[in-house]
Chain A
Amino acid sequence: MSVVVKDCSYVLVHVPNFVRYGSKPYRDICVSDGPGGELEKRIYHRVRSYEEALAYPPNQVYIGNLHPDELNHIPQPWYEHPISGAKRHGRFGEVLPEEEFYGWIKIADDFDLVWLTPGFIEKIKERVSSNPFLKEGDLKKLGPGVSPERIAEKIERDGALPLYDSGTLVGSIRRDHEMDDSLKAHVLLENLLAKASGALVMHHLFRRASLKPDEVDFILSCSEEAVGDRYNRGGGSLSKAIGEMCHCNNATGHDIKAFCAAPLHAILDAASLVEAGVFQHVVVVGGGCLAKIGMKYSSHLKHQMPILEDVLAGIAFLIGKDDGINPIIRLDCIGKHPIGAGSNQQAIMTSLVVKPLNKIGKKMMDIDRYATELHNPEVTLPAGSGNTPYINYKLMGALAAMGGEISPASIEEFVKTKGMPGFAPTQGHVPAAVPFLGHALEAMREGKMGSALFVAKGSLFLGRMSQLSDGMSFLLERNPKNEGHKDS
């Protein structure tokens, strides 16, 4: 039996009023002049409007309205070359405005953690209600709201965090334990935003795949958060929480943790469960990461550019049995970075690219496209963090040259033809190669592409338990039974 990627979805949620709660801005604001101070004002002077975030070319690529290769033809900086007539909805998902997302947050909240004022609920109710994914039972959870006086008191006396809309206080999120760091307001906000954006992207997946939520057997969340309490920090399970919000009544699941490589680990686990016949329909879902919002804000301020890390990103994939149409995950061509492989980049990339391909008798040039970590370079370069995809593609090209497949002079050509520009928000797990999966899926269904290798690394050393890093890769191939679409 073979395993296929049956469908996928991608969403962005524009969250300008949550930039202050990204890990880096939040820490810096706390140690400078506090909320409402000069630093926060400087940040908010550079935060983008929804329309600006929507028309940003990499964001349009992410939701499927442009192909990644089209970025090669748009002059940089891309934020100065918005897409004219950019659409909220794309082939793979949408860019959700913040006002509507507040409704999703409230609906995701099963513990009355979030209070919104009656006036704000009234303001957002119509737009939230018009969302096709939300049912009457969901909308009831918006409730009547809480008075601004009670909200102000909760913030003042009880460690709650203020929530804003266009700079105006419209609500709060409270802590759920006085002494538990895992249940403090900021952590609960992170978790809730991951849950709400994860549910949004999962709903999009069901619509794209024409799948009923009850048909899902198992859910693997690869989100970046640590749901838990003082006795089991990071214990989970966001997968079941997202599944519950999406009415997956027959599913269970668990969370996969592998730093930025988690989506690849999760997809391989899902594929293995399907291959083994344990489950038929497994969903891999990743909600957005609040901690990464505004991470490089200080460099963006220094370069007098917009703060580009203003969107939460969501990813979802449906893994199932061979349907004769969708591309196959080659389980005999899995790349891993073993403990004993060493930590230099050449060793890592050899383990993830050359070795798995050699195992099935393929060479690097046999593969049509490579997807590596697709961080948007416009976000990282001003911060001196380099152009991650370009660095990785160049190393892959060098490996092809070392293998005698291309000449050293052709490495740049390899980068151009086998790689692509980075377009994913710097959300940690999200750029992990899989933002290209949707584009590859469609190209392979249409017979326009034969194969793509997905490669991602994880920075395990950040957790201070090991100096090791991690990495996984898998090969996606056009389904040979898809006779309707031969080579174009």
Chain B
Amino acid sequence: MNCEDIERLADAYADGELDLASTLAIEAHVAGCAACTSKLEQVNTVTRALRAAPYFRAPETLAARIRATASDAAAVAPTPLRQRQNVRVRPRRWRPWLLSTASLVAASILLGVVLHERTAMADDATTEAVIEGHVRSLMAGHLMDVASTDRHTVKPWFAGRVDFSPTVVDLASDGFPLVGGRLDYIDRHPAAALVYKRRDHVINVFVWPQAAGSASHHTRSDERGYHVISWTRGGVAVWIVSDLALDELDDFARKLDAAMHG
């Protein structure tokens, strides 16, 4: 344990986040080092000073607003029953017509929702897998197996690694430089991951062969702020994921789609 280590670990030590061995090693070093003693003191001083900072408690009205929205949401389900009761209490000639038209509309919407949700469920699993792949690549620092801004280097690298040949395009002139490629697994099949950047945001593009699918772009966002846009064209499924602002990612998706199939 030297002064550099302490500089790096001082906060974790002060926060009680270190294991026993590191804690003891730090204490042994600090006992004989004035510089590190003052570094630890600085951390504690800041923590003490922050006790004077205001803590913003939620206003009473906010809890009430949230409770109201929560009960609104819960009240949505039994609505059809209430509608029927209303009709019985105040019968009017046009009401039954309205009701049957309304229920027809409601039924067709419901049917549409159910059908949509079935395909959406499989897509949700892939969305989750794609986001996990993206997060994994960033966390483990395993962004690229082949680091190159040259598509003529990236494309041949995949030969022999995946049983298809991904189309690799460069969008540097559009402000989305290609930075490399990597082999990944999505939904238990190998996928070519192409890595693009926009400023300091990473965009992962997952590509794998897929016979059928919708060519129109589907967009999903998760609560962590990741956006996923996917489409299938020319026997290839393309899934792009990033924490980039949605409008910029949309722009990227359009340019990538055009360049891949243009």
Q: Do A and B come from one complex?
A: no
Name A's B-contacting residues (CB within 8 A). Answer: none
Name B's A-contacting residues (CB within 8 A). Answer: none
